[in-house]
Amino acid sequence: MNNEKQNKVINDLMENYNELVNQIFRFIYLKTSSKEIAEDLTQDCFLSTVKYLKDKEVRNIRAFLFRTARNKVIDYYRIRNRIIYSDELVLANEKISSRDDIAIKQDARMIIEKLNLLGEEDKEILMMRYIEDMNIKEIAEALGKNEVVVRVRIFRAMQKFKKIVNRK
């Protein structure tokens, strides 16, 4: 990769680091349910990305980071041979200050509980789209899939999710 492109990608990473690190941490935490593991894997994800950027070109740093994070989680569970449990969404450092906050946190927990009833692929794609606010192109790049396939998978996963929510 030429130096100009490499510098642009690295600058993009540094400019957006705080936002990206929070998104990657949250993504990993939702898959591991452990703050310590999520912190370690997030750090590994960024270190691997920086090493990769020294020699290779990356078009979309955000999609690349999510793909790397996804692979780190897969490797983590492969090594430990564990089942994934995602019990709660971290609502980091927020204090409950009103009834609205309590209701929002209860709704978030309910959504995570319902998401956990989906298959891993469906849960992952909905998290990327609606929790991490990734666009179709970024999700496609992160998953190594075609954009049309991603749209269809999101639609189908959302249909399944709606059925689960309406089940009561």
Return mean pLDDT, the chain: 78
Q: Which of 17-21, 26-30, 44-48, 89-93 has the lowest mean pLDDT?
A: 89-93
Place of tokens 């349910």: 33
Please tell me the pTM assigned to this model: 0.56
Domains, the chain, with CATH or none: 1-85 (1.10.1740), 96-168 (1.10.10.10)
Cα-based distances in Å from 21 to 45, 131, 145, 158: 9, 15, 24, 27
Q: Are 85 and 33 in contact (CB under 8 A)?
A: yes
Q: What is the pLDDT of residue 105?
A: 60
* Percent of the chain at pLDDT exceeding 90: 18
Higher per-residue pLDDT: 145 or 9: 145
Q: What is the pLDDT of residues 72-113, one digit of tens each?
A: 988 887 776 544 333 333 333 344 444 555 565 666 677 778
Whole-angstrom CA distances from 90 to 33, 58, 127, 145 are 9, 30, 13, 28
* pLDDT at site 84: 37
- 42: Cβ contacts below 8 Å, ≥ 6 apart: 21, 24, 25, 28, 69
- Per-residue pLDDT tens digits for 116-140: 888 888 988 988 888 777 889 989 9
